[in-house]
């Protein structure tokens, strides 16, 4: 069930948790079995909270993907603000993102629709790796699990392959890991912004600074994909003027970069 319908009773308060010190862990340096899917917080039996998150009007309404998604990604790293992020999507880019804040048992889920640019980049990387048929171990000889572990799964024609790694020298495998992280950045930022707009609007200028930093550091998969959302924010009077103006500037910068 989408968080656009369900998350209204379990949204975050808008406050940012301080990250804990990273915990050291070891992972197998090989292809591993597919992780169990993230649970979804259901509306039934969930206690009502006063602060609620409104629906994201600019996110496409799609049917959430299930455990048979053609492509799946999961990132886990205790101590990060979002200690677990899972993305599942089909070949057309429709699917879901689930994420869990550190020190929280709630798993929040939103629908996603990847842009054509993002889909093309992902497809090229999967093809270059011949991911389904390959048996290559992508994990670097040294364990960097303190940076977080990534699990990538692809399914096609009844076949499934899952690879787990936290650092790699294979440029295409690294691209997959980085690109899914960039996708996660976009959607977790949208979640934070909408939660702040509903509950703590004074936090939104700082969140606009955050996405500005993401874009400058190329940590958003496809910045033009943010244009409808930024345009909506620029005229949303529930946001402070500073946040609205920043959204308008970012939208103009992105439009200018497309020319």
What are the residue ranges spanned by the domains of the chain? 3-181, 200-259
Q: What is the mean pLDDT of residues 169-193?
A: 97
Q: Give the closest residue to 179 by CA, choosing from 236, 90, 95, 115.
A: 115
CA distance 44 to 258: 45
Q: Which of 31-35, 105-109, 217-221 has the highest mean pLDDT?
A: 217-221
Task: Determine the Cα–Cα distance for residues 164 and 142; give it in Å rounded to an integer.
Answer: 14
Judge whether residue 74 has pLDDT over 50.
Answer: yes
47 pLDDT band (50/70/90 cuts)? very low
Q: Is 187 helix (H, G, I), strand (E, B) or coil?
A: helix
Res 78: pLDDT:
87
pLDDT(156) > 70: yes
Residue 158 structure tokens: 């009844």
Nearest residue to 226 via CA among 203, 249, 195:
249
What fold, for 3-181?
Answer: Mago nashi protein (3.30.1560)
Helix (H) or strand (E) holding 94: strand 94-101
**Alpha-carbon distance 11 to 224, whole Å?**
27
d(CA 152, CA 122): 12
Of the pLDDT bands very low, low, confident and very high (cuts 50, 70, 90), residue 67 is low
Confidence label for 68 from pLDDT (cuts 50, 70 and 90): low
Model confidence band, residue 69 (pLDDT cutoffs 50, 70, 90): confident
Share of the chain above pLDDT 90, in %: 67
- Which residues in 73-82 are b (16+ Cβ under 10 Å) and which e? bbbbbeebeb
For the ranges 42-51, 131-140, 231-240, 249-258, the lowest mean pLDDT is seen at 42-51
- pTM for the complete prediction? 0.75
């Amino acid at each position: 069930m989408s968080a656009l319908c369900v998350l209204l009773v379990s949204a975050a308060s808008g406050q940012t948790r301080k990250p804990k010190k990273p915990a050291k862990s070891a992972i197998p340096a090989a292809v591993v079995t597919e992780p169990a899917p993230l649970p979804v917080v259901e509306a039934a039996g969930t206690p009502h909270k006063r602060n609620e998150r409104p629906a994201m009007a600019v996110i496409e309404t799609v049917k959430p993907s299930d455990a048979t998604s053609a492509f799946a990604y999961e990132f886990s790293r205790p101590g990060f603000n979002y200690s677990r992020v899972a993305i599942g999507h089909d070949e057309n880019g429709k699917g879901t993102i689930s994420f869990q804040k550190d020190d929280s048992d709630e798993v929040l889920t939103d629908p996603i629709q990847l842009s054509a640019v993002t889909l093309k980049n992902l497809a090229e990387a999967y093809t270059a790796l011949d991911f389904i048929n390959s048996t290559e171990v992508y994990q670097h000889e040294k364990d960097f699990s303190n940076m977080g572990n990534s699990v990538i799964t692809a399914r096609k024609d009844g076949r499934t392959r899952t690879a787990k790694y936290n650092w790699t020298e294979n440029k295409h495998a690294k691209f997959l890991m980085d690109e899914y992280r960039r996708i996660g950045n976009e959607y977790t930022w949208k979640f934070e912004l909408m939660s702040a707009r509903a509950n703590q609007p004074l936090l939104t200028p700082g969140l606009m600074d955050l996405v500005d930093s993401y874009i400058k550091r190329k940590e958003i998969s496809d910045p033009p994909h943010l244009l409808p959302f930024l345009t909506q924010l620029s005229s949303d009077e529930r946001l402070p003027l500073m946040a609205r103006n920043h959204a308008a500037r970012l939208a103009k910068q992105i439009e200018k970069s497309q020319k």
